[in-house]
Structure 1
Amino acid sequence: MTHASGGGTDVDLRPFMTEFPTGVAIVTALAAHGRPWGMTCTSLCSVTLSPPTLIVCLREGSPTLAAVLSAGTFAVNLLHRDARSTAELFASGVPDRFARVDWALPTGCGGPHLPLATHMVADCELADRQAIGDHIVVLGKVSCITRTLEIAPLLYGQRRYASWLDQPSSSSGFGDSQ
């Protein structure tokens, strides 16, 4: 058994979080001059269904965060199981990411959509933000959800990408009312 002392600053949270598999998203926004920005994000959580609100955590100083804050809108692109290369591209420091992928700006969207890499996209309006450590917690009120493909999501955990091997059940699962 491993034990770390309390106090917060001397605890390395990364080993704990690598054991928590999650879906993979790319948060996108347009900068004031129209340049698209985006970054891979596994720090995504729903906050409330009414109003529909998501949290994304973005690194302080990132151009994507700057674009989200200046535009006041953003898109959360949920990647499908075959989009590992897109996740890796948007996690890299490559400056011309959008020149290497197909993307679109549907009318009324919050940010660029990545139609060939996603199975769903949520367009959001910036509702609030809070600085915590080296990240900014961004709350987005969801204005539109688009399903792009009927395909399993890309997952990330234990420092590797994966996908579900079995087919989803007909039950919606979490949050079902009995």
Structure 2
Amino acid sequence: MDAVTQFKQALGNYPTGVTVVTAQDADGNPIGMTVNSFASVSIDPLLILWSIDKNAFYYDAFTNATTFNVNILAADQGDLCMLFASRVDDRFGKCEWHPGQNGVAVLKDTASQLECTVYNTVDAGDHMILIGEVTSIHNEDKEPLLYHKRLFGKIPDAFYQQS
């Protein structure tokens, strides 16, 4: 097995949450894509990061945007995950959303939304890391959508039991 296959297999063993990151293109149109490369960076200031493949369709639009939003998907939003992972035209015409305080799309009924301004970008191999400073936060009491070994699902009830 080659190193790339082993690397993908190893990372597939690490469950992650699923987000849809949204921004606006140069013409002010909403854009969005499913992302699981999302993490917290700092508390002071409030910083998060996500990464985008340099070959991604929306690479230029995202790397030129000054604001973006991270929509953390709820366990029942597998359809949104697949919609924004696809090449479907007019993704935003197929879901409910509204402009956030920063004017960028916020998806309806997500577990959380983080509105961000671009804080920094870091060139990292075949990806660009976008670091955002969180300017607005909205949370709902919902279970998150998880991604593990190329499957989507929710946290099993046993996870919540404490000894």
* TM-score using structure 2 length: 0.89
Q: Is the deviation greater in 74-83 or in 50-59? A: 50-59
Q: Give the conservation status (yes or no) of the 8 Å contact 2:99–2:106.
A: yes
Which of residues 106, 121, 139 is equivalent to 1:113?
106
* Structure-1 residue corresponding to 2:61: 67
CA distance in 2, matches of 1:106, 1:167: 35
The one-letter code of the counterpart of 1:128 is N
Alignment match, 2:157: 166
Query: SS at the partner of 1:140?
Result: strand
Structure with greater strand share of residues: 2
Match of 1:21 in 2: 15
1:160 partner amino acid = L
Gaps of 5+ in 1: 5-9, 172-178
Quote the residue 1:88 is aligned against: 82
Aligned length: 161
Consecutive unaligned residues of structure 2, counting only runs of 5 or more, are: none
Cα-Cα RMSD: 2.2
Rg (Cα) greater in structure: 1
1:31 aligns with one of 22, 25, 33: 25
Q: Is the 8 A contact 1:53 1:141 kept in 2?
A: yes
How far off its partner does 1:27 sit? Answer: 0.5
Cα distance in 2 for partners of 1:91, 1:120 equals 19
2:130 matched residue in structure 1: 138
Q: What SS does the aligned partner of 2:10 have?
A: helix
Which SS does the other structure have where 1:104 is aligned? strand
Sort the Cα spacing of 1:123 and 1:67 in 2 relative to 1 into closer, same or farther, 3 A: same
Cα shift at 1:84: 0.3
Q: Aligned partners of 1:36 and 1:132: how far apart in 2?
A: 26
TM-score by length of 1: 0.82
Asked if the contact 2:100/2:115 (under 8 Å) is kept, the reply is: no
2:42 is aligned to: 48
Secondary structure class of the residue paired with 1:47: strand
